Structure 1
Amino acid sequence: MTGETLFLAHRVPFPPDRGDKIRSHNVLRALAALGPVHVGTFDDGSGYGDQFLSGIAGSHHLVPRRKHDMLAAAEAMAKGHPVSLSAFANEGLRQWVKQVLHYRPIDAIYVFSGQMAQYVPVHFPGRTVLDLCDVDSAKFEAYGEAGHGPRAWVHAREARLLAAAEERFARMADTTLLISENEANLFRTRVSSMNHIDLRVMRNGIDAQFFAPDACPPQPTLYGPGPNIVFTGQMDYAPNVSAVERMVQRILPGIRDVHPGAEFHIVGRAPTPAVKALGKHTGVTVWGEVADVRPYLAEADIVAAPLTIARGIQNKVLEAMAMARPVLVSPEAATGIEAEDGRHFAVAEGDRMMIGRALALIDDADKARGMGAAAREFVLNEQSWPAMLAGLPQLLRPSDADPVRDAA
């Protein structure tokens, strides 16, 4: 395969330890296997960015940090732009992109997340693939509808302006990717028309060799006698915060009415003050960031994901399934995972149903083990990263004989 690729991402794709970085990391590795790749991205404070990019990219530009939220908001308000775009607008990166496109034989640009589409020149002659992952504007719309006062107004404004930008960027791109059919269908309802938009689905995969029941030594003393219910995720992310608050305040008490020893464990980096405060409740432990999440999954009796706002496919759910754990999910958290309720995981809508299905899994250990085994088999057969990324070469450099546009 000839030509080189420019890869633009809003966060350095390493380490692959949260949802969007898992996807961007695996996409970048697949692109590097196809040919030289040049990476423009923003550092997120991990400290690994330069070392990782030096080992995988032909060249790279790592912006030390994105704008402070207040500065980004001020610029966005003054210019009538979405805050999401202003936060990632950087003149140094813009100039680097121009130089790379001028001096290197770039015939494809892979844009990871809508924030980075602002760097693609209008008249770029090669292929552009826009990986939106999910419909961010819909998330802000949900925040606005659920909120009150000035913050709700800000979220509603962001939803409106970002939806217009998403449509504009999708028309600019040769192909736009979303993470699930649900997200693709949602996107279709939010644009004026699908003319000149090639919309496709590329689902998330999972590293089932890393997330495997026997991939880490047992730690039977990690938790108490339980039953132990676990939630994993980035704990300064609003949907995750809302989910654990729901679990502690409305679901766990019903479980503890039947099983007084039941405990809920919140595992994930950057817990907010509101999340830390949940640790004051009886039966709740806030672990914060851990070196390896796998033991915390492996020792769980149930992994719960009671999300009420969820965009795209939840990696936390796939990871728990790969670890052969029985997983209790809301319909929102199950979105995009083509598994069977009652066989591969348990889907529950509403707090009372969450309590009931959790109790059923606790009281029938054989059924819970069977569900975990079926979940892992599903991940092995249906959710591997090589299978998910097999179509990348054709997306980036299609043959003349194969029609590229498949207008939805």
Structure 2
Amino acid sequence: MKIFVLLSRVPYPLDKGDKLRAFHQVKELSKRHEIILCALSEGPVSDEARNVLSQYCKHLEIIPLKKYLIPFNILKSFLKGNPLQVGFFYQNEVQKKINQLINEHQPEHIFCQLVRVLEYVKHLNIPITLDYMDALSKGVERRISSANIFYKPVFHLESTRLKAYEQKAFENVTGRSIISIQDRDLINHPDKEQILVVPNGVDTEYFQPQALQADYSLVFTGNMNYPPNVECAEYLAKEIFPELLKKIPGAKLLISGVNPSSSVKALESENITVSGWVKDIRQSYARASIFIAPMRIGTGLQNKLLEAMAMKKPCITSELANNALGAVAGKDILVGQSTAEYVDLIVKLLNDDKLRLELAQNGYSFVHNTYNWAKSTALLEQLMIIGV
């Protein structure tokens, strides 16, 4: 089957959750189908990215967004009653190019990741599968409470409009997928159970246990410019870690990931390292005794947890994050809610070698048995085939 894949970002390097998901789905689909990959870009794209992606595509088209048009198109989207992010990613010149590519390649199916790009193709008489990925409207809603006075009304408006747009998008496509049951249940549509849950996988050949000395007690990883990760890093460093130091004065925390915001950089101290981008994120996981992700906002599946578990790191997370993950609390992973709970769990693990090893092994087995890119993409593939 000839599949036209439309993405709001170039899916390489794998430094964001949507890019990681799209990359592995394209890679798996390319084994049995002809892929025309069209990705929008907000900046320059490296030759490495083009070369890596070209391996899996019959045709690769990267369309740059003109930055000076973005504010104007956001305003247009606002006046139309659409979500602001739909306007951010929509440009007339891009529409013309996508129309040209569709006419040239005559795809049998269109695959869109995220509702923000659906505007470009929803009018076409071609079967479309939409990957909601996660419930964007709920993710924005969860940011309202911690936003400043200026952003609160903006996030409230965006959440409301995204909720309506997600509902409308359901009717514009022939197939729908999402990352977890919890996210599916947050989509505001009476037939939301028709949305197929397609979980992420983890590259277990790449993320394997490494025998490195644990220089840090704790590690937290992710894109450190992404608001839920920024909030989590600040909560971890400002509230959890100071209480931990009272009980274990020599504890050390590593915060590792691309594009740390100024507020994340400011967390660095004698006992806290903010590494920024690292060439090999596996070493960040390997250099800590425990992986911790006390997420309080955001939606979707936390890839960082899958990666840490695949590397046999004992993990601590929040109920919010584990709801999407589906691990057995107390067996595969430890789950906390309050600052005091997190501190107690960390101290318990750091003082019990046997428990750390058991938790790491159980988490490792859970990920290997549950999260697999080939299996999850096969579900997506069947959804597309039914829709043709």
Q: Mark yes or no: TM-score above 0.5.
A: yes
1:194 maps to amino acid: D
Task: Using the TM superposition, give the Cα deviation of residue 276 of structure 1 relative to its aligned residue in structure 2, in angstroms.
Answer: 0.7
2:58 maps to amino acid: G
TM, length-normalised to structure 1:
0.89
The CA deviation string for residues 222-243 of structure 1, in whole angstroms up to 9 with x for no partner, is 73xx5x1000000011111111
- Partners of 1:381 and 1:165 lie apart in 2 by 35
The CA deviation string for residues 32-74 of structure 1, in whole angstroms up to 9 with x for no partner, is 2222111111225452443334332222321224646644543
Task: Using the TM superposition, give the Cα deviation of residue 209 of structure 1 relative to its aligned residue in structure 2, in angstroms.
Answer: 1.2
Task: Using the TM superposition, give the Cα deviation of residue 386 of structure 1 relative to its aligned residue in structure 2, in angstroms.
Answer: 1.0
Correspondence 1:151 to 2:151: yes
Correspondence 1:98 to 2:96: no
2:122/2:173 contact within 8 Å kept: no
- Residues paired across the two proteins, number: 385
Task: Using the TM superposition, give the Cα deviation of residue 76 of structure 1 relative to its aligned residue in structure 2, in angstroms.
Answer: 3.0
1:141/1:159 contact within 8 Å kept: yes
Instruction: Find the partner of 2:382 among 381, 394, 405.
Output: 394
- Partners of 2:54 and 2:327 lie apart in 1 by 38
The CA deviation string for residues 109-130 of structure 1, in whole angstroms up to 9 with x for no partner, is 1101111111114241x32110
1:212 maps to amino acid: Q
Partner of 1:28: 26
2:29/2:377 contact within 8 Å kept: no
User: RMSD between aligned alpha carbons?
Assistant: 2.0
Task: Using the TM superposition, give the Cα deviation of residue 283 of structure 1 relative to its aligned residue in structure 2, in angstroms.
Answer: 1.2
Correspondence 1:88 to 2:76: no
- Partners of 2:105 and 2:72 lie apart in 1 by 34
- Partners of 1:73 and 1:105 lie apart in 2 by 30
Instruction: Find the partner of 1:194 among 180, 191, 195.
Output: 191
The CA deviation string for residues 278-321 of structure 1, in whole angstroms up to 9 with x for no partner, is 103x4111111000011111121111101101311100011000
Partner of 1:107: 108
Task: Using the TM superposition, give the Cα deviation of residue 140 of structure 1 relative to its aligned residue in structure 2, in angstroms.
Answer: 1.5
Partner of 1:308: 296
The CA deviation string for residues 169-215 of structure 1, in whole angstroms up to 9 with x for no partner, is 1111112111000011111xx23x328x831100011011110014x
- Partners of 1:43 and 1:104 lie apart in 2 by 21
Instruction: Find the partner of 2:204 among 191, 202, 208.
Output: 208
2:195 maps to amino acid: L
Partner of 1:39: 37
2:318/2:337 contact within 8 Å kept: yes
**3-state SS, counterpart of residue 346 of structure 2:** helix
1:341/1:347 contact within 8 Å kept: yes
Instruction: Find the partner of 2:320 among 323, 328, 332.
Output: 332
**3-state SS, counterpart of residue 324 of structure 2:** coil
Question: Against the structure 1 CA distance between its residues 72 and 304, is the aligned structure 2 distance closer, same or farther, given a 3 Å change threshold?
Answer: farther
Partner of 1:171: 171
- Partners of 1:250 and 1:66 lie apart in 2 by 41
- Partners of 2:310 and 2:145 lie apart in 1 by 35
Partner of 2:220: 231
Structure 2: where are the runs of 5+ without partners?
A: none
Instruction: Find the partner of 1:298 among 283, 286, 299.
Output: 286
Q: What percent of counterpart residues are identical?
A: 26
- Partners of 2:345 and 2:324 lie apart in 1 by 21
- Partners of 1:104 and 1:62 lie apart in 2 by 15
2:75/2:87 contact within 8 Å kept: no
1:34/1:393 contact within 8 Å kept: no
- Partners of 1:331 and 1:23 lie apart in 2 by 23
2:295 maps to amino acid: L
Partner of 1:401: none
**3-state SS, counterpart of residue 378 of structure 2:** coil
Q: Any residues of structure 2 matched to 1:131-150 within 5 Å, and which?
A: 131-150=131-150
TM, length-normalised to structure 2:
0.93
2:205 maps to amino acid: Q
1:36 maps to amino acid: E
Partner of 1:16: 14
Partner of 2:249: 260
**3-state SS, counterpart of residue 302 of structure 1:** strand
1:82 maps to amino acid: P
- Partners of 1:71 and 1:275 lie apart in 2 by 31
Question: Against the structure 1 CA distance between its residues 337 and 58, is the aligned structure 2 distance closer, same or farther, given a 3 Å change threshold?
Answer: same
Question: Against the structure 1 CA distance between its residues 276 and 131, is the aligned structure 2 distance closer, same or farther, given a 3 Å change threshold?
Answer: same
Task: Using the TM superposition, give the Cα deviation of residue 395 of structure 1 relative to its aligned residue in structure 2, in angstroms.
Answer: 1.3
